[in-house]
Amino acid sequence: MNRLSRAWHRVTEMIATDLSRMLPPYSWTAFSGVRGFVGYYGTRFWPTKHPAGEASVVNYDMTRMLYRNDGEIGLGAGFAKPIVDVTVNFLGMPNVLLDDEDETEFLNECIHDFWAPQLREMFTAAIRDSKVIVKLCWPDILDPLMTIDESEHGTLEIIPPDLVDIERDGKNKNIITRVIIHRRMNFVINLGDPTTGDAKTEVHDVLEIIDRETYGFFDQTTSSWLDSMAAPNRYGFVPVLEVFNEWDAALQGGQSDLETVIPFMQAFHDVLTQSLQAHRYHSTPKLKLKLSDVATFIKNNFPAAWDEEKATVIPQAEISLNGREVLFFTSEEDAEFLEARSVLGESRELLEFLIDCICIASQTPEWAFMRVDSGSANSDRNAQTVPLVKKVERKRNNMVEPVQMLCKMVLVARDLIPNRPQITWEVVRTDDEFVQMQAFQQLVMGLEVARTRGEISDETYMKSIRAFLPGMKAPEDEKKDIPPAPVIPALPPGPPAPGTPVTGAAQ
C-alpha cells in the first residue's frame, strides 16, 4: 500500500512539473502573466471538461503596479489609472429605496455620509483587481470618540483579496461560514526606559478568524490565541462580502479592466522608449570638417595637441571644442554641423494608433487621457463617450447586488428585517438627463390624451411612467397619497357695469 501511494505521489508530481513547464514564465509581454493558476481542484490526471481558465486568478501585484505606474513599463502604464478612475468617477454613488421611509433615510445616510470613501475604494479595487473583500464593522464601545451615529451606521473596511480566505456553505454558496483574515500587528514587548525611548516592539502575523458565533485572533508568531481581543458575534452572520468585477462563470471569478489593455500598454512603452533613445542620439549635432591639410588645421586651432619639435600631432592628444568659438580655415576649407533626421515623426503616428487601441480595448474616450483634438467636432467626442456610458451602466448593474447585501447586513445588525432595497443611480451625463426629461414630457402628453379619450386606464398610465420615476409606489398607494384638490371659493359679485339699468330692490 505504501509503494502504491508513493508511486501515485510520484506520478502526480511529474504531471504537476510538466504543467508548470508548459506554462509561460511571468512576463510583462505575455498575456498569461496577468493570470496565474492556483489549483483549486488539485492536479488532474484524467482530462475534464472544465474551462481552461476556471482555476485562474488575476495577478494582483501586477494590476496594482500598473495602477501606481511603478513597474517595468512605466512609459505605457500611465493609462491604467485614468482607465480605472474615469469609470469610478462616472459610476457615482447609489441611492436606495424601501417602502419604509425611515429605513430608506437610514440606508442613504450610511451610503452617502458614512460609507462613501470606502465604497469608492471598493469600486476602484474591484475594477482594478477583479475582486475585493469588504468587511462591515462597528467602532469599539470603549472608544471615547465614538458617536451614536457611528455606532448605528457602522463603517466599511476594504481588505485586499490575497489576505483573506473564505469558507462557504456547501449547500448554499451565498452563505459564508468562516473567514480568515491575515493581518500584521505591532506589539510592544518591553517598555524600557521612558526617558530614553528604547521601547522594544515586534511585528506579529495574526489571523483574525470570524465565524457566525465568534471573532477570534490567533498569533502565528507565538502560536497562541489572543483571548483579550476575542469577542462574540452577536449578529448571527459573517459581516464579510466578496465583490467581483465582471463575473465570468467560465473563470469562476471576476475580471480586471486592465487585462485587455496590458499588451497595448507594453507596445506603447516599447515604442516610446525607442523614440526617446533615438531622440537622444539625434539631438546631439555632429561636426563635419572639410580640410585640405589636417596638420595645419590642428596647429592653428589646437596648439596644445601639436608637437613643434617633431612637427606632428602629439599621440593620443585630446581635441575639444569647448571654448573654441572661432576656428581658422584656409580658403578651400569649411565646417558645418550635421543633424540626422529624427524618427519621432514616424513614431508619433504609431503612438497615436496605440492610443486608439488602448481606448477601444478599455472602452475609454481619448479625452480621458487629456488627448483632445481642438479641430474635432463635438459629435466625435460624443461618439467616443457612448462606449463609456454603456460601460458605466454595466458596472452599475454589476455593483447593485453588493450594495444590496451591505444594506441587508446593516439592517440585520440593527435587528430589522433584511429587506432588499431598490438601487438607483444618477444620470451619467447632463445631456442624457435633458434628453430623458424630454422623452418623459412627450410620454406624459401622449398618455394624457389617451386617458382623456378613455383609451387607457389610470393604472396603465401610472405603469407606463414608472420607468422614469423609480420611487413611484403602487397605483393604490399613490392615489391615497395624492392630496385633494384645493377648493377655490366663489368670488362675490362685483359692481354693475356702466350703463346697466338698475331695477328691483336696487332702486
Average pLDDT, stretch 215-234? Answer: 93
Are residues 221 and 286 part of one domain? no
Report, in angstroms and rounded to the nearest whole number, the Rg of the chain calculated over CA atoms.
Answer: 37
Average pLDDT, the chain: 79
Are residues 195 and 135 part of one domain? yes
Are residues 220 and 281 part of one domain? no
Classify residue 271: in a domain, yes or no.
yes
Are residues 344 and 438 part of one domain? no
Final residue before a domain boundary, out of 356, 371, 386: 371
Classify residue 140: in a domain, yes or no.
yes
pTM of the model: 0.72
Q: Could you give the CA distance from residue 43 to residue 19 in angstroms, rounded to a whole number?
A: 9
Classify residue 459: in a domain, yes or no.
yes
Classify residue 105: in a domain, yes or no.
no
Asked whether the beta carbons of 259 and 66 are under 8 A apart, the reply is no
> 148: helix, coil or strand?
helix
Q: Would the pLDDT of 240 be above 70?
A: yes
| pLDDT tens readout for residues 337-355 | 666 565 556 788 888 899 9
Instruction: Work out the pLDDT band at 176, boundaries 50, 70, 90.
Output: very high
What is the residue range of 341's domain? 264-371
Count of CA atoms in the C-beta half-sphere (13 A) of 244: 11
Are residues 331 and 303 part of one domain? yes
The total number of residues written for the chain in this structure: 507
Cell numbers representing residue 417 in the block? 428585517
| pLDDT tens readout for residues 83-101 | 999 999 999 999 998 888 8
Q: What is the pLDDT of residue 103?
A: 92
Are residues 212 and 161 part of one domain? yes
Query: What is the number of structural domains in the chain?
Result: 3
Final residue before a domain boundary, out of 195, 216, 244: 244
